[in-house]
Amino acid sequence: MALDIKLKIETTEDCKNLVISDVTGVYNETSNPGGWGGFNIDGNRSTHNIGLYMVVYHITDGEEYSTPINITNFSSTVNYPTEKLHRGFKISIPSYDISTEVANAPYLTTESYDPIQEVLADSLYEIIVHVNGSNPDYDKEFKFTFRSICNSQKAVEKVMGQINLGCEDCDDSDIDSALLAKSLLESLKNMR
Amino acid sequence: MSIYRSLNKEALSHKSMDGWHLNLAATDAKNKPLNFPMYEDSITNSIASYLEGLPSDLVSNSVTIPIVFHLILDDTEIISLDKGYQITFNVTNLLQDINNVFEQAQIKFVPAKRNEKGELLKMAGVNIIDAKNLFEYRQVSGAGSIRKYSDEGVSITNLIYNRNVSLGPTERGGYSYKSLLHTHSWDSKSIINILLINKFENNKTVLMAPNPYKVDMLNEESFDIVLPFFALGSPQRYGYSYTKKTPAQLEVYNSLNGFTGTANTSIAYFGIGHHSAKPLLKGLGHLFGLASSNVFDLHLVETESNYSDSSCNNYCIYSDYRNKSYCGSCDNLDTNKYYEPWVKGSDCDNGDDIFISLSENIMSYYKTDNAKYKLSTAQILRIKANLGLKYIDEETQIPFQGSLSKLSQSSWPSDRNYNTPVGVGRDAVNSCEEFRTSSPAAVSRMSQGLNNYSALNNNSSNFNFIKIVNCIKTITEKNNG
């Protein structure tokens, strides 16, 4: 089996950073044939490079965009647990780094898109890892999809915490709205 | 040199955005001169008879016409917004936008399901053509003999007329427009072929479209529309993106991104913004027999720097091009006037014109972002009259159908019941109110529906996700005060 990169993609607790970690692991003939090393490349940093870019989906002024961006500072911000290998790399990308790149897209003619977003917008992100190098020659890209719901989760938790289900004389509209928001959040979690 | 004389050299003006007026040059084709006044009379009479309740060839019912978009690709990434991972070219949005306009004339375009060989298309209405190595041999002084599509784009004519450079027309490169149609167009009498290319060689033209009368009279094979991807505008909506991988695409890329100053103004004009494929709408208008609402006075265009504001307008009919020069020169620069020739007393000079906003009309050269483009009543009638065009063979006296009439009766395998996908997917998430009025169980079913819909249209799935996020945001912000 060829190298099969696996990533853990998540947001930080405060929704401000996107954290991408390589969890591919070490090659094992039976338990992890897609891992680094063995019959696959070992991901030596002196012979192979890793590049990262993303496609950010957003709706701005009613128009649907899927904007490809480069993570230009990948090499300067990535952390490696080992001295020479890419294996286990981890990078934390601040939200505003992503929003700035999106805002700079040449075809985004509107100024409605906020270039400095403090928290990572809940949306769909496609993350592409490009591994290439020589000795042995290797050039492949791996694509991952991440659906961020960090902000929605927090907002729903907040409204659910505020409603009083035991109040018989209260206006039910807030309760209905909160339950609707919770249902929609569950729908997001279940979307493939 | 008069415009008429220059056109009869089959040379395109270097500043022309639309090659349509070459149709007019054919009025003087040596072997088969065209009688445009007769054509105009026929259309006018057909409309007048219809309006007076008399027998008329005008097609008053709705018609369904098969259509295919041939994507002529020198690099596949042009139809991918994510650098080649998936084809993002969105024929659904394109069909939706052109159907929304031509619905006014009771015309519905439906995507072809099969190709000329009867094979099922992978994507209805889309035929992908690998043009990485498309070339032909044609000598151009100073530029060798190989004309490669990926290097030079497509040439409309081999000659370009530019009085600033030379009094006579000059030779230009580019893969020949006629070769392109000859090789890649399907049976034009049964289906509308739209060929999307990287660019036209002259970097100014954004459209080539036919006139039905000329096609019928000269028995031309091609009844097709050619335009560059960038002329569609709205790259995100239609899912295309120029790359830097071929010289032709790089040239467009640089213009779109402002790296080449103002040299290629038509690329920058049409390539940026959300004008819902305005040149394509105009091309379809030409195909159904409509003339431009404002027509270039080439002398003005070539001696002034602007390309749209300096054009004259109004006499939007085909007529005796040589003698009356209706479409060749005019001195009325009021771009809000529109000439309706069959309205009694209608005359550009006496103020009886029917006013219409040219910025919203499909036959103007203007693009308007987020516009709801319209056809005037007169244009609708002209389209319907053109759909019913019939001729009589002068030798045998046997009547025969025009190309448009055949097209409207085509049996090409296509999705006759085609409707822009709506309902459980897109519409359901367009409004939070839809969710508000639904029970939790219904919300659950709707979500399942979204998943089913998403399986058919991955891109919609992604944006539906965002729409639900926005709904949650709206609801929770309201509740949180």
Q: Which residues of A touch B479 (CB under 8 A)?
A: 159, 162, 174, 177-178, 181
Q: Flag if A177 and B478 touch (Cβ within 8 Å).
A: yes
Per DSSP, A21 falls in state: E
In this structure, of B36-50, B152-166, B420-434, the range with the lowest mean pLDDT score is B420-434
Q: Which residues of B touch A65 (CB under 8 A)?
A: 236
Which domain range does residue B465 map to?
426-479
Mean pLDDT, range B253-264, rounded to an integer: 72
Residue A136 is predicted with a pLDDT of: 85
- Phi then psi dihedrals of residue B11, to 5 deg: -110, 135
Long-range contact set of residues B416-422: C-beta below 8 Å, sequence gap at least 24: B416/B64, B416/B110, B418/B95, B418/B108, B418/B110, B418/B111, B418/B124, B420/B92, B420/B95, B420/B96, B420/B99, B421/B92, B421/B453, B421/B456, B421/B457, B421/B460
Whether the per-residue pLDDT at B427 is higher than 50: the answer is no
Residue B342 is predicted with a pLDDT of: 28
- Phi then psi dihedrals of residue A154, to 5 deg: -65, -40
Compute the mean pLDDT over every residue in chain A, rounded to the nearest whole number.
87
Residue A10 is predicted with a pLDDT of: 95
Please tell me whether residues B245 and B319 are part of one structural domain.
Answer: yes
Q: Last residue of a domain, which of B325, B359, B387?
A: B387
Whether the per-residue pLDDT at B122 is higher than 50: the answer is yes
Please tell me whether residues B434 and B365 are part of one structural domain.
Answer: no
- Domain A7-148: top CATH class: mainly beta
Please tell me whether residues B216 and B266 are part of one structural domain.
Answer: yes
Whether the per-residue pLDDT at A49 is higher than 50: the answer is yes
Residue B145 is predicted with a pLDDT of: 84
Q: Which residues of A touch B471 (CB under 8 A)?
A: 184
A163 or B78, greater pLDDT = B78
Which residues have a Cβ under 8 Å from the Cβ of A37 and sit 6 or more positions away? Answer: A26, A27, A43, A87
Highest mean pLDDT among A168-177, B297-306, B409-418: B409-418
Please tell me whether residues B227 and B113 are part of one structural domain.
Answer: yes
Q: Which residues of A touch B242 (CB under 8 A)?
A: none
CA of A174: which chain B residue's CA is closest? B479
Which residues have a Cβ under 8 Å from the Cβ of B71 and sit 6 or more positions away? Answer: B78, B79, B89, B126, B127, B128, B129, B196
Nearest to B465 among A53, A126, A191 (CB): A191
Mean pLDDT, range B414-427, rounded to an integer: 48
| CATH at residue B286 | 3.40.390.10
At B160, list the tokens: 């370009």
Mean pLDDT, range A16-42, rounded to an integer: 93
At B459, list the tokens: 């891109």
Per DSSP, B413 falls in state: S
Whether the per-residue pLDDT at B171 is higher than 60: the answer is yes
Q: Which helix (H) or strand (E) holds A66?
A: strand A63-70
d(Cα B144, Cα B362) in Å, to the nearest integer?
40
B98 touching A (Cβ < 8 Å)? no
Whether the per-residue pLDDT at B103 is higher than 70: the answer is yes
Please tell me whether residues B200 and B113 are part of one structural domain.
Answer: yes
Residue B430 is predicted with a pLDDT of: 41
* Test mutation, B369, B462, B473, chain A, max A CBs within 10 A: B462
Residue A62 is predicted with a pLDDT of: 76
At B77, list the tokens: 């990434």
pLDDT tens per residue across span B188-224: 889 999 999 999 988 878 888 888 888 888 888 788 9
B444 or B377, greater pLDDT = B377
Dihedral angle over CA of A59, A60, A65, A69, nearest 10:
-110
Mean pLDDT, range B280-295, rounded to an integer: 82
At A118, list the tokens: 């403090």
Residue B287 is predicted with a pLDDT of: 93
At A66, list the tokens: 């899927």
Per DSSP, B338 falls in state: -
* Test mutation, B254, B465, B471, B477, chain A, max A CBs within 10 A: B465
Q: Flag if A59 and B466 touch (Cβ within 8 Å).
A: yes
CB A68 within 8 A of CB B83: yes
Confidence of residue B331 (pLDDT cuts 50, 70, 90): very low
Q: Which helix (H) or strand (E) holds B301?
A: helix B298-303
Compute the mean pLDDT over every residue in chain B, rounded to the nearest whole number.
73
Residue A171 is predicted with a pLDDT of: 64
Q: Flag if B478 and A123 touch (Cβ within 8 Å).
A: no
Whether the per-residue pLDDT at B314 is higher than 70: the answer is no
Q: Which residues of A touch B477 (CB under 8 A)?
A: 155
In angstroms, the Cα distances linking B104 to A115, B62, B339, B374, B464 are: 41, 10, 20, 8, 30
Shortest Cα distance from A82 to chain B (angstroms)?
A: 31
Residues in chain A: 192
Please tell me whether residues B437 and B309 are part of one structural domain.
Answer: no
Please tell me whether residues B361 and B462 are part of one structural domain.
Answer: no
pLDDT tens per residue across span A67-97: 888 887 788 889 999 889 999 999 999 999 9
Residue B315 is predicted with a pLDDT of: 36
Residue B331, in any domain of the structure: yes
Mean pLDDT, range B429-434, rounded to an integer: 48
CB B274 within 8 A of CB B234: yes
Please tell me whether residues B361 and B472 are part of one structural domain.
Answer: no
Q: Flag if A55 and B273 touch (Cβ within 8 Å).
A: no
Collect all residues from A whose CB is shorter than 8 A from any CB in B.
53, 55, 57-59, 63-66, 68, 106-107, 109, 122-124, 126, 128, 141, 143, 147, 149, 151-152, 155-156, 158-159, 162, 174, 177-181, 183-188, 190-192
The distance between the two most distant Cα atoms of chain B, rounded to a whole number of Å, is 82
Count: domains in chain B: 2
Residue B23 is predicted with a pLDDT of: 65
Q: Last residue of a domain, which of B334, B363, B387?
A: B387
Residue B393 is predicted with a pLDDT of: 82
Q: Last residue of a domain, which of B387, B415, B446?
A: B387
Residue B403, in any domain of the structure: no
Task: Give the residues across from B127 on adjacent strands.
Answer: B70
pLDDT tens per residue across span B224-247: 999 999 999 989 889 999 988 899
Whether the per-residue pLDDT at B346 is higher than 50: the answer is no
Whether the per-residue pLDDT at B304 is higher than 50: the answer is no
Residue B50, in any domain of the structure: yes
Please tell me whether residues B309 and B437 are part of one structural domain.
Answer: no
Q: Which residues of A touch B478 (CB under 8 A)?
A: 177
Please tell me whether residues B375 and B443 are part of one structural domain.
Answer: no
In this structure, of B263-277, B286-300, B357-371, B383-397, the range with the lowest mean pLDDT score is B286-300
pLDDT tens per residue across span A108-139: 767 788 889 999 999 999 999 999 988 888 98
Per DSSP, B76 falls in state: G
Please tell me whether residues B447 and B349 are part of one structural domain.
Answer: no
Nearest to A187 among B443, B466, B470 (CB): B443
Confidence of residue B67 (pLDDT cuts 50, 70, 90): very high
B290 or A7, greater pLDDT = A7
d(Cα B418, Cα B358) in Å, to the nearest integer?
31
Please tell me whether residues B81 and B178 are part of one structural domain.
Answer: yes
d(Cα B378, Cα B346) in Å, to the nearest integer?
12
